[in-house]
Amino acid sequence: MFAKTFRNSLLASSLLIGASLLVGPAAMAEDDPLSVDSGDDVTGVVHLINEITFAPAAPTPIVADAGATGFVMGELSLRNNHVNGWTLSVVSNNGGELQNGSHAIEYTAVTAAAVAGETTNSSVDPATGGNLIVADYTAAVAAGVNEVQVTANIASGQHVPAGEYTDTLTFTLESVN
């Protein structure tokens, strides 16, 4: 009798443990965080880039009698990624004159080469300054452009003593609001 009772108890225990194992994984799935749905968004931020540098050209000979159309002043590198585009303005610190002491060589019509084929440019009187380029957003400018040539016109007939004549150009790159 003892053996029969022990066998029945062992059989009942085996059935109870087996049932627990069958129910256990299904019950645990409800608590599994990997099976929970979520509606969270993933976002990223692109920060505004607004950078400009100007590299003046090496001193270039000016022939006073001949003047110069398209006299190279230097090169710009710029980068802007504003969605509404950007403007580039320029003004001369010496009112449109290359100076050497009390002597000066006047220049006019500062221009810049088109940037990334997407810009409009105009000539600017360096004495008063103004917008040199007005542009819409382009991926090329957002990535950065280099070697944008800046030129000016020097009228003929300006007879001045030999020497190095200088001016400072101030370029301002602004995002359009």
Stretch 30-38: mean pLDDT, rounded? 68
The total domain count for the chain is: 2
Give yes or no: residues 79 and 158 share one domain. yes
Residue 38's pLDDT is 77
Stretch 112-136: mean pLDDT, rounded? 92
What 3-state DSSP class applies to 61? coil
> For all residues of the chain together, what is the average pLDDT?
85
Per DSSP, helices labelled H in the chain are 2-29, 139-143
pLDDT at 24 over 80: no
Q: pLDDT, tens digit, for every residue of 98-107?
A: 999 999 999 9
- Alpha carbon 149 to its chain centroid, in Å, reads 19
pLDDT at 39 over 80: yes
pTM for the whole structure: 0.75
Give yes or no: residues 10 and 59 share one domain. no
What percentage of the chain reaches a pLDDT higher than 90?
68
The DSSP element (H or E) to which 145 belongs, if any, is: strand 145-154
Asked whether residue 89 is domain-assigned, the answer is yes
What residues have CB less than 8 Å from 108, skipping those under 6 apart?
Answer: 96, 123, 125, 126, 152, 153, 155
Residue 63's pLDDT is 86
Q: Tell me the residue range of the domain where 130 lies.
A: 50-175
Give yes or no: residues 89 and 146 share one domain. yes
pLDDT at 77 over 90: yes
CA angle 155, 161, 167 (to 5 degrees): 60
Asked whether residue 40 is domain-assigned, the answer is no
Give yes or no: residues 20 and 55 share one domain. no
Residue 19's pLDDT is 45
**Order of strands across the sheet that contains 169-175:** 119-121, 130-135, 86-92, 169-175
Residue 30's pLDDT is 56
Instruction: Please list the residues that pair with 152 across neighbouring strands.
Output: 71
Average the pLDDT over each of 12-21, 29-38, 40-49, 112-121 and give the range with the smallest value.
12-21
Stretch 99-124: mean pLDDT, rounded? 93
Give yes or no: residues 6 and 61 share one domain. no
Nearest 5°: phi and psi at 20?
A: -65, -40
Asked whether residue 41 is domain-assigned, the answer is no
What residues have CB less than 8 Å from 45, skipping those under 6 apart?
Answer: none
Work out the pLDDT band at 139, boundaries 50, 70, 90: very high
